[in-house]
């Protein structure tokens, strides 16, 4: 029987989800999103607890370091599908984990109009577009709405996220400028 070594991956979770209790070592990410950790392969079936860390003899910091290193080593599996203005990411059902891989996003910068914007409504759904692509932003919003309407076991966020200067933030589109009135209101 072959012996397999346990490896860890970071996994985005909604911190508002009651299924993720206090016994999980979580790191902050953005808004209602946190980073949990899963052991595998297979990944994503079970999240690491503080008890698991003790059993493996790992600190939270060592777990985080190993998980990020494993994610970086697996980036060759990430694929983009579709056509502009919006693309879909694929990564073995753990697509949202790729948001934690700076190297991947650094390589995509400049390939979309404006800043990178993603919809990440669920663990296994990431839609990629640019901040200056109105059709791409509309397509990403529709996709996020559809995932939330259909319901998914691992919902994450309704917000689109934008990557600026190497950091993710909630995307807030620029407001259209008001034209000055040319006369009194009617």
Per residue in 39-81, pLDDT (tens digit) is: 988 898 889 999 999 999 999 999 999 999 999 999 999 999 9
**Looking at residues 126-149, what average pLDDT do you find?**
96
**Looking at residues 10-16, what average pLDDT do you find?**
93
Q: Which residue did the predictor score with more confidence, 58 or 2? A: 58
Which of 142, 172, 164, 121 lies closest to 12, judged by CA? 121
For 27, residues 6+ apart whose C-beta sits below 8 A from its C-beta are: 10, 34, 35, 64
pLDDT number for residue 153: 85
Burial class for 140, CB neighbours closer than 10 Å (0-12, 13-18, 19+)? buried
pLDDT level of residue 184 (50, 70, 90 thresholds): low
């Amino acid at each position: 029987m072959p012996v397999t070594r346990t490896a860890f991956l970071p996994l985005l979770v909604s911190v508002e989800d009651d299924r993720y209790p206090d016994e999980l070592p979580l790191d902050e990410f953005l808004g209602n999103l946190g980073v949990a950790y899963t052991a595998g392969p297979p990944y994503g079936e079970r999240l690491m607890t503080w008890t698991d860390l003790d059993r493996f003899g790992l600190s939270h910091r060592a777990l985080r370091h190993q998980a990020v290193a494993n994610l970086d080593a697996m980036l060759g599996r990430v694929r983009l599908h579709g056509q502009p203005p919006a693309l879909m990411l694929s990564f073995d059902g753990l697509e949202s984990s790729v948001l934690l891989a700076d190297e991947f996003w650094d390589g995509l910068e400049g390939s979309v109009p404006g800043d990178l914007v993603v919809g990440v409504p669920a663990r296994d759904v990431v839609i990629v577009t640019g901040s200056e692509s109105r059709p791409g932003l509309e397509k990403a919003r529709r996709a996020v709405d559809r995932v939330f309407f259909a319901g998914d076991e691992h919902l994450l966020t309704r917000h689109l996220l934008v990557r600026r200067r190497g950091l993710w933030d909630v995307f807030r589109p620029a407001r259209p400028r008001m034209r000055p009135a040319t006369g009194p209101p009617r």
